[in-house]
């Protein structure tokens, strides 16, 4: 499996950007908008947006580090110092059983490149109006299916890219980018 190093600052600033554009949203909406932005970035530029590890969960892909940050914002504590230190950027409230997150500050646009902003805008435009069930169905793509069938929790960026319909040449390029990024192939 190819791995990328998670850019934790980019993760939180991408989430802040999404929330500033869509307003208060449930975790699910934010996670799916970011997942599809990752796919756009892979397809257009040959590297992920954030490098966050996506977990194949029941209702679709979940970015692992961002989930830890949101849970730390909700509970006020996390076993992960890096998540706790960034959790103050978000407020989490519950409406029934559903947690909603709000940005407490504007994103630092210096943390996001022009290509990052481009794919975030594409994903927001394409996904912000979709309902929960529509996002579940859309995100249960070939990458999610493969992780489910293989009982792998962490989704492969190569599988995520393939689910986006990326060419073989771009897949090879993504593999090289992953190798250069992490110096670790599993």
* Largest Cα–Cα separation, the chain: 47
Q: What is the pLDDT of residue 76?
A: 86
Domain count, the chain: 1
Is the model more confident about 15 or about 168?
Answer: 15
142: closest CA among 126, 108, 165, 110? 165
- Return the exposure string of 34-67: e unless at least 16 CB atoms fall within 10 Å of the residue's CB, then b: bbbbbbbbbbebbbbbbbbbbbbbeebbbbbbbb
Using the Cα atoms of residue 101, residue 130, residue 60 and residue 42 in order, give the sign of their dihedral. Answer: negative
Tens digits of per-residue pLDDT, 125-139?
999 999 999 999 999
pLDDT digits (tens, 9 = 90+) for 54-63: 999 999 999 9
Sign for the pseudo-dihedral over CA of 22, 52, 162, 175: positive
In a domain, residue 53? The reply is yes
* Residue 2 is assigned to a structural domain of this protein: no
Residues 73, 92 contacting (CB under 8 angstroms)? yes
The pTM score is 0.92
Segment 155-176, tens digit of pLDDT: 989 899 999 999 888 888 888 8
Convert the pLDDT of each residue in 73-87 to its tens digit: 999 887 889 899 999
Residue 18's pLDDT band, with cuts at 50, 70 and 90, is: very high
Q: How many CA atoms lie within 13 A of 74 on its CB side?
A: 17
Residue 104 within any structural domain of the chain: yes
The model's confidence at residue 5, banded by pLDDT at 50, 70 and 90, is confident
Range of the domain at 154: 8-182
Secondary structure (DSSP) of 2-64: B-----HHHHHHHHHHHHHHH-SEEHHHHHHHHHHHHHHHHHHHSS-SS-PPEEEETTEEEEH
Q: For residue 3, is it within any domain?
A: no
The tens digit of pLDDT for each residue in 95-104 reads: 999 999 999 9
Dist CA 12 CA 106 (whole Å): 11
Sheet holding 98-103, edge to edge: 25-26, 98-103, 90-95
**Is residue 105, in this structure, part of any structural domain at all?**
yes
Asked whether residue 93 is domain-assigned, the answer is yes
Percent of the chain with pLDDT over 90: 74
Please indicate, yes or no, if residue 1 is contained in any of the structural domains: no
Residue 74 lies in a domain: yes
């Amino acid at each position: 499996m190819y791995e990328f190093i998670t850019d934790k600052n980019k993760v939180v600033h991408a989430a802040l950007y999404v929330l500033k554009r869509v307003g208060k949203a449930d975790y699910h909406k934010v996670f799916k908008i970011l997942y599809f932005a990752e796919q756009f970035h892979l397809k257009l530029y040959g590297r992920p947006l954030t490098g966050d590890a996506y977990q194949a969960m029941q209702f679709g892909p979940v970015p692992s580090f961002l989930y830890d940050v949101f849970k730390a914002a909700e509970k006020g504590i996390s076993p992960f110092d890096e998540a706790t230190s960034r959790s103050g950027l978000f407020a989490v409230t519950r409406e029934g059983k559903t947690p909603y997150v709000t940005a407490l500050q504007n994103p630092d646009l210096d943390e996001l490149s022009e290509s990052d902003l481009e794919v975030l805008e594409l994903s927001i435009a394409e996904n912000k109006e979709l309902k929960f069930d529509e996002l579940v169905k859309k995100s249960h793509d070939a990458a999610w299916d493969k992780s489910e069938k293989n009982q792998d929790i962490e989704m492969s960026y190569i599988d995520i890219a393939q689910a986006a319909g990326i060419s073989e040449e771009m897949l090879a390029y993504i593999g090289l980018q992953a190798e250069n990024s992490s110096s670790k192939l599993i």
